[in-house]
Amino acid sequence: GQQVMQIPQYQHVQEGEDFTTYCNSSTTLSNIQWYKQRPGGHPVFLIQLVKSGEVKKQKRLTFQFGEAKKNSSLHITATQTTDVGTYFCAPSRGGSARQLTFGSGTQLTVLP
Amino acid sequence: DTAVSQTPKYLVTQMGNDKSIKCEQNLGHDTMYWYKQDSKKFLKIMFSYNNKELIINETVPNRFSPKSPDKAHLNLHINSLELGDSAVYFCASSHGGGVLNEKLFFGSGTQLSVL
């Protein structure tokens, strides 16, 4: 079956520092989604990457999909306290949401 | 206005009891899910229903029984609760119907504590 590793599991940064979380798969992916879960909240969809080598930006967030479609990253520039939460990658074997599996998540703490 | 709503938000109960969690979505989606999130934040799919029919049934004890009276509702009934059932349970929905690259919409979660 599909093996997904997300690292790091925890990350503490000082406000203003950058942050990156990585998601690595043992198999080629169809696409990958990213979700954010605030403390005490529920996962919220951020973005989906479909094409090999794709890069998408949302303000201070940059999402990348590897050329081989086996890995992905989420980079946050100049973190703010509002970035606190757990970031999940959710790779998919196909196009249906039923085929999504979730990485173990990276819990980000931003120290003011 | 809430797209995916689940109740109750908190559930504290004794071992051995039976409890239910309800979920409703007003997005017109065809597919609904139950996910379990443990204390380490791992999110694992339990069940998926497409238009009232069970599609995915992961390795979950048969003490857990989902019921979908219509495509807008997916309830989760748990019999003989055990300590290890303590977790946050999330309901979710997606468009379904063969739409490609669809995303999940989650409810706010039910924190279940079994004492």
Distance from the A96 Cα atom to the nearest Cα atom in chain B, whole angstroms: 6
Q: Are A42 and B107 in contact (CB under 8 A)?
A: yes
Q: In the prediction, which pLDDT does B100 show?
A: 65
- B96/A97 Cβ within 8 A: yes
Label residue B92 exposed, middle or buried (CB < 10 Å: 0-12, 13-18, 19+): buried
* Pairing status of strand B19-25 against strand B10-13: unpaired
**Which pLDDT tens digit goes with each residue over B90-112?**
999 998 766 666 899 999 999 99
Segment B39-52, tens digit of pLDDT: 999 999 998 888 88
Q: Does the CB of A102 have a partner CB in chain B at under 8 Å?
A: yes
